[in-house]
C-alpha cells in the first residue's frame, strides 16, 4: 500500500473499469463500489466487468467489491469518483450528512458539472461535504478507457490544490501504459473537460453534416480559443491552453472514434433527433448535460462562447444543425 492508503473507486462504468486497471498496475489491492449486485456477481463469475470494458481481465483477489457506498468509503483513504456527472449527487446523497469523507483524499475523475447547481465536482464536494481544498483532487487528460484496455500508451494529469498529494497519486498510477503529470489548476482542468465534451459534440455534428478535415481543423482552433477565453474569465490563473489536459483532451475527444460525445454529435448531424441519438447509445455523452450547465452558468458570467452556445441551441432549442453551424461559421 502506498502512502495514499487504501484506494477506492466509485462507479461501475467504462472509466471506473479503466481506472481500476490503471491503479492495479501498481497497487496490490483496491476497494470498488458498484451500485448493482448483479454486476458484482457477474464479476465473480467472469473475472471481468460483465457490462463495460468486458475485455479487461482482473485478478479478483486484488479487489474487494462493495454495493454499499458508505462502507466502501469508510474502508478507504483515497476515493476516486468515476460516476457520470448527472448521477453524482444521487450516489453521494447516500452519505449525506455523514462524516464519511472526513480526512480522505477525494479525487474526481468526472468530466462534467453537477446539473442545476452548475458547479464542477470539486466545488460540489467542498461545499456539500466540507472537504478542505487540499484534500480535493482531479484526474483528467486525453485518455479513452478503450485505449487503456488495449494498453496503448496514455497520459493523465492529476490536479490538486495540494500538489504534494497530487504527486503521490500521479506517481502511484504511472506505469508502462500510463504517463502522468501534476497540476494545481483544479477548476480550470474540470471546466476544460466539460467544454471539450461540448466541442466534440459540435465536431461530430459537423462530421455528420459532411464537413471534412479541413473545416474540422478550423473548428478545433476556434474551440481552443474559446476554451481559453472561458477558463481565463472563470478561473483566472497563468496557464497555457496547449497542455495535454486542455488542448490534448479536446483534440482526442473531437477526433477519436471512441468518443461518445463525438458519436452523439455525428448522429445529430446525420439527422437523428437528440433523444433518438441518446437512446441508440449505450453509454453517456456528458456534453449533453455540460452544454446546459455551461449555458446556465454563463448567464451569470456573460463570456462570448458561440461554439458552446451553438451546442446548447442544437441540443435544447431544437435549432436545425445546418442552420446552427451556418450561423456559427459567420463568427469565425
Ligand atoms: N469513458 C472514458 O473514456 C472516460 C470517461 N470519463 C468520465 O468518467 C465518468 C464516468 O463515465 P463512464 O464510466 O465512461 O460512463 P459509462 O457510460 O461507461 O457508465 C455509466 C455508469 O453510470 C451508471 N448509470 C447509468 N444510468 C444511471 C442512472 N440512471 N442512475 C445511476 N447510475 C447510472 C451505470 O450503472 P449501471 O450499469 O448500473 O446502469 C454505469 O456504472 C464521466 O464523467 C466521463 O466523462 C473520463 C475519462 C475517460
Ligand atoms: O474524456 C474522454 C477522453 O479523454 C472520453 O470522452 P467521451 O466521453 O466523449 O468518450
Query: Could you give the ipTM of this predicted complex?
Result: 0.99
262 is in an annotated binding site: no
State which of 140, 168, 184 marks the end of a domain. 184
Ligand nearest to the CA of 142: 2
State which of 184, 205, 235 marks the end of a domain. 184
Percentage of residues of the chain with pLDDT beyond 70: 99
CA 42 from centroid of its chain's CA atoms: 25
Please measure the distance between the N-terminal and C-terminal CA atoms of the chain and give it in whole angstroms.
Answer: 52
The pLDDT confidence band at residue 229, using thresholds 50, 70 and 90, is very high
How far does the centroid of ligand 2 lie from the alpha carbon of residue 260, in Å? 6
Is the domain of 67 the same as that of 157? yes
Is the domain of 180 the same as that of 253? no
246 dihedral zone (left: phi>0; alpha: psi -120 to 50; beta) = alpha
Q: Is the pLDDT of residue 113 over 80?
A: yes
Cα separation of 96 and 101, whole Å? Answer: 10
Atom from ligand 1 closest to the CA of residue 197: 45
Torsion of CA 193, 154, 248, 158, to 10 degrees: 50
**Per-residue pLDDT averaged across 107-114, rounded?**
98
Q: Is the pLDDT of residue 7 over 70?
A: yes
Q: Would 1 be classed as within a structural domain?
A: no
Beta-bridge mates of residue 81: 10, 108
DSSP 214-252: HHHHHHHHHHHHHHHHHHHHHS-S---TTSIIIIIHHHH
Is the domain of 194 the same as that of 135? no
* Pocket mutation for ligand 1, best pick of 84, 147, 291 (most atoms within 8 Å of C-beta): 84
Q: Name the helix (H) or strand (E) containing 325.
A: helix 321-329
State which of 160, 184, 208 marks the end of a domain. 184
The pLDDT confidence band at residue 304, using thresholds 50, 70 and 90, is very high
Pair 8, 79: CB distance under 8 Å: yes
Work out how many domains the chain is built from and give that number. 2
| pLDDT tens digits, one per residue of 166-180 | 999 999 999 999 999
The pLDDT confidence band at residue 99, using thresholds 50, 70 and 90, is confident
What does the mean pLDDT of the chain come to?
A: 96
27 dihedral zone (left: phi>0; alpha: psi -120 to 50; beta) = beta
* Pocket mutation for ligand 1, best pick of 9, 15, 67 (most atoms within 8 Å of C-beta): 15
The pLDDT confidence band at residue 2, using thresholds 50, 70 and 90, is low
CATH code for the domain of 77: 3.40.50.720
How far does the centroid of ligand 1 lie from the alpha carbon of residue 245, in Å? 20
| pLDDT tens digits, one per residue of 22-74 | 999 999 999 999 999 999 999 999 999 999 999 999 999 999 999 999 999 99
Name the residue range of residue 251's domain.
Answer: 188-329
| pLDDT tens digits, one per residue of 121-151 | 999 999 999 999 999 999 999 999 999 999 9
Beta-bridge mates of residue 76: none
| pLDDT tens digits, one per residue of 240-270 | 999 999 999 999 999 999 999 999 999 999 9
Is the domain of 171 the same as that of 192? no
Is the domain of 172 the same as that of 61? yes
**Per-residue pLDDT averaged across 76-90, rounded?**
97
**Per-residue pLDDT averaged across 307-327, rounded?**
98
Is the domain of 93 the same as that of 214? no
Is the domain of 64 the same as that of 139? yes
Q: Is 270 a catalytic residue?
A: no
Percentage of residues of the chain with pLDDT beyond 90: 95
Q: Which residues contact 48 (CB under 8 A, 6 or more apart)?
A: 54, 55, 56, 57, 58
- The pLDDT assigned to 94 comes to 85
Cα separation of 159 and 111, whole Å? Answer: 13
**CB-side exposure of 36: number of CA atoms within 13 Å?**
10
Q: Is the pLDDT of residue 97 over 80?
A: no
Question: Cβ atoms within 10 A of the Cβ of 3, count?
Answer: 10
Ligand nearest to the CA of 282: 1
- The pLDDT assigned to 249 comes to 98
CATH code for the domain of 303: 1.10.1040.10
Q: Cell triple for residue 331?
A: 463568427
CA 180 from centroid of its chain's CA atoms: 16
Q: Is the pLDDT of residue 96 over 90?
A: no
**Per-residue pLDDT averaged across 304-311, rounded?**
98
Angle at 193 between CA 164 and CA 148, to 5 degrees: 75
190 dihedral zone (left: phi>0; alpha: psi -120 to 50; beta) = alpha
Amino acid at each position: 500500500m502506498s502512502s495514499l492508503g487504501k484506494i477506492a473507486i466509485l462507479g461501475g462504468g467504462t472509466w471506473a473499469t479503466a481506472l481500476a486497471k490503471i491503479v492495479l498496475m501498481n497497487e496490490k489491492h483496491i476497494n470498488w463500489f458498484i451500485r448493482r449486485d448483479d454486476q458484482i456477481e457477474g464479476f465473480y463469475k467472469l473475472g471481468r466487468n460483465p457490462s463495460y470494458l468486458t475485455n479487461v481481465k482482473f485478478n479478483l483477489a486484488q479487489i474487494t467489491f462493495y454495493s454499499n457506498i458508505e462502507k466502501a468509503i469508510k474502508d478507504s483513504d483515497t476515493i476516486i469518483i468515476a460516476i457520470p456527472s448527472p448521477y453524482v449527487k444521487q450516489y453521494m446523497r447516500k452519505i449525506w450528512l455523514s462524516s464519511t469523507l472526513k480526512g480522505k483524499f477525494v479525487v474526481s475523475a468526472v468530466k462534467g458539472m453537477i446539473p442545476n447547481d452548475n458547479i464542477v465536482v470539486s466545488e460540489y464536494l467542498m461545499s456539500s461535504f466540507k472537504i478542505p481544498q487540499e484534500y480535493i483532487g482531479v484526474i483528467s487528460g486525453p485518455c479513452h478507457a478503450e485505449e487503456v484496455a488495449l494498453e496503448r500508451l496514455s497520459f493523465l494529469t492529476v490536479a490538486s490544490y495540494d500538489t504534494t498529494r497530487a504527486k503521490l497519486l500521479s506517481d502511484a498510477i504511472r506505469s508502462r501504459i500510463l504517463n502522468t503529470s501534476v497540476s494545481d489548476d483544479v477548476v480550470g482542468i474540470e471546466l476544460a473537460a466539460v467544454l471539450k465534451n461540448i466541442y466534440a459534440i459540435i465536431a461530430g455534428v459537423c462530421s455528420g453534416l459532411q464537413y471534412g478535415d479541413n473545416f474540422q481543423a478550423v473548428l478545433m482552433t476556434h474551440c481552443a480559443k474559446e476554451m481559453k477565453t472561458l477558463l481565463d474569465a472563470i478561473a483566472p490563473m497563468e496557464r497555457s491552453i496547449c497542455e495535454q489536459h486542455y488542448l490534448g483532451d479536446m483534440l482526442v475527444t473531437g477526433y477519436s472514434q471512441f468518443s461518445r460525445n463525438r458519436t452523439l454529435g455525428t448522429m445529430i448531424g446525420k439527422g437523428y433527433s437528440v433523444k433518438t441519438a441518446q437512446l441508440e447509445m449505450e453509454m453517456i455523452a456528458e456534453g449533453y448535460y455540460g452544454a446546459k450547465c455551461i449555458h446556465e452558468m454563463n448567464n451569470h458570467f456573460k463570456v462570448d462562447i458561440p461554439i458552446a452556445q451553438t451546442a446548447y441551441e442544437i441540443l435544447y432549442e431544437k435549432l436545425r444543425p445546418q442552420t446552427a453551424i451556418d450561423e456559427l461559421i459567420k463568427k469565425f
